[in-house]
Amino acid sequence: MLSDVFCVSQDVVALSIEKPPDSALGDLASTIAFSLAKERKNSPVAIVNELLPKLEAVAAEDPLIKEVKTKGPYVNIFLDHGKMAELTVGSVLKYAGTYGRSEEFKNQRALIESPAVNPSKPWHIGHARNAILGDTLCNILDWVGYDAVRLDYINDLGLQIAQLIWKLMQVEEDGDDTKYDHYLGHLYVQVQETFDNSESVQEEIREVSRKLEDLESPEAKLSAKMVTRCLKAQCETSYRLGIYHDYQVWESAIAHCGILEIAQKMMLESDNIIRLDEGEKAGCIVADLSVIDEFKDMKDPYKILFRSDGTRTYTGADVALQLWKFGIIDDPFKYSIFEKQPNDQTVMRTDLQGKKGNLGKFDIVMNVIGSRQAHPQKMVYTILDILGYSKESDNSHHIAYEFVGLENVDFSGRHGTWIGYTTDDVLDKATELARVEVEKRNPDENDAFKNNVANQVAIGAVRYFMLNASPDRQITFRWNEALDFNGDAAPYIQYSHARAQRIMEKAEGESVSNLDLTILSGDAEFELVKAIAQFPEELLEVARSLKKNVWGTSFTSNRITAYAYGLANLFSKFYDSCPVLKAEPDVRASRLALVSAFKMTIANCLIVLGIPVVNRM
């Protein structure tokens, strides 16, 4: 309506919509006149008054709009509560488990890389934040129409791997019953202490690192076994959180599949990628950043991509991989099945002995990496730009996140202070604490029920806590906040679903069709209806915001947790003020339909967040 009257795009209108501070001012308000004032060289009030007759005429044609008024520069919209309830509740009951899905980004492919934990240790809580952000991002993109593919980067080369191989070649035990990633983490602490205090050990480990490049060497073969075993142990942690992948790209495959040679040849065809003939970087293949305004005054504008001995830098390898992700380089990898996951889907890994594959071209690529990697990520996207791939550069997104810690705990991989505080340990303690609360609420239930619900609550608590703060904020995981059954936390939202489920169970067999939903017009009913109606748009707004930013994209995961918490609060207010099972027959039936619509919506929201849906708590 507003887009037609004001002759602007729907995006402009969407940005102008807000909730009035007082319901007497309407159900919705628009500040669009402020946006147009400068362009039309008139005051916002004059613009609104001039177009009021058109607004009223268009509103008269829309059955959902009861009235349009103006107050100063604001356009205030009053909805027909009954018809809005009829449309919204009817829509949710019709689409049920797919309510909230849309096709705005249909036929677009997105590749999300996360969490890329080195296969040499267990996940700590920061790794969990990365993985949960990446998984939830994929869920949201999937719900708005993207073909979203989950990719994990496996760094099976490098110093940490070499250090562990050096150590493993000296020990006989294999960790006994210790979870293998934890066992390697303990070994790494031992190796690091030796490495820091012995130059001879440092040289031995560097030699191991060189031998890892030879896939036929004993070191490389032991590494393949170690990495596979560690990665499967890490995946157990991932699966506990409900996180799965489609593909793994192993760094050893990048080193040996030919992609680096293809990328190097392609880069040298650009005028902005050169091989230096003199200076301390002589023989190196570099990107000339001076062609970018931001870097034109640099004393040394040359970023090394390949060293003079032919080896790649991290930047060079990352650029090559980014070219592959966008399909600029044809898929050079072969693939094999790594394992079948608990969700019954297989995860494929790059494998030099595998079968030729074709992962294909992606429209948008997102790398979930810590904020401290902002400069390296920006450098990769900048080099794409100077190579002539501006569109791909714009569609490359760094989903940055900040450090996460635990109360009274400092983390250091080198010194082993993570021991006892891994993601596994956090999940175990969360389950233990949740079990106490479940026991209080369900003393007569059997252990299987209590353990299952406690596990679901613990998973939800950890995931929600990681998502409920803006990713660019440092956070400290606090048990009392994460496991709050009465506040802004997953258990409270899970309980709201269980409460709705209980109401529906008590009314089992009663029809929620052929109802007069227009009678759902009371304040508490309508506020809940409005919130339910907003769910599809909330998901779309998160996806749209990702498209608007590059090089430090803000992923507003907390927008969806805030929505879920707000929706649960509104249901609680409705539950307290609007009797359902004790209402008159017509009202009872319509309110049951509203309860059902809420239950479906909050369940879908929890599914998007990756939080288990609990029917009884």
pLDDT tens profile 72-100: 888 888 888 999 999 999 999 999 999 99
Burial code of 357-370, b = ≥16 C-beta within 10 A, e = fewer?
bebeebbbbbbbbb
Specify the pLDDT at position 554: 72
- Binned at pLDDT 50, 70 and 90, residue 587 comes out as very high
Look at residue 11 in the predicted model and tell me its pLDDT: 64
Q: In sequence order, what are the residues at sequence separation of 6 or more whose Cβ sits closer than 8 angstroms to the Cβ of residue 283?
A: 275, 276, 307, 308, 309
Position 458 confidence tier, pLDDT thresholds 50, 70, 90: very high
User: Region 289-307: what's the mean pLDDT?
Assistant: 90
Neighbours of 540 (CB within 10 A): 19
Report pLDDT digits (tens) over 498-520.
Answer: 999 999 999 987 776 678 999 99
Phi, psi of 327, rounded to the nearest 5 degrees: 80, 10
More confident residue, 77 or 176: 77
CB atoms within 10 A of CB 112: 26
Q: What's the pLDDT band for 13 if we cut at 50, 70, 90?
A: low
Three-class secondary structure of residue 366 per DSSP: strand
Per-residue pLDDT averaged across 487-491, rounded?
97
Rounded Cα–Cα distance for residues 248 and 338 (Å): 8
Tokens of 37: 């004032």
Nearest residue to 331 via CA among 361, 310, 354: 361
Pick the range with the lowest mean pLDDT from 5-9, 248-252, 292-296. Answer: 5-9
Can you list the domains of the chain with their CATH numbers?
2-79 (3.30.1360.70), 423-609 (1.10.730.10)
Q: What is the pLDDT of residue 386?
A: 96
**pLDDT, tens digit, for every residue of 325-342?**
999 999 999 999 999 999
Q: Per-residue confidence at 54, pLDDT binned at 50, 70, 90?
A: confident
Q: pTM of the full predicted structure?
A: 0.93
Higher pLDDT among residues 491 and 407, named by residue: 491
The average pLDDT across 354-358 equals 94
Percent of the chain predicted with pLDDT > 90: 74
Mean pLDDT (the chain) is 91
Vertex 155: Cα angle to 153 and 156 (nearest 5): 130
Angle ∠(58,101,144) on CA atoms, nearest 5? 95
pLDDT in tens, 186-228: 999 889 888 888 899 999 999 999 999 899 999 999 999 999 9
Whether 219 contacts 165, CB under 8 Å: yes
> What average pLDDT score do residues 299-313 get?
93
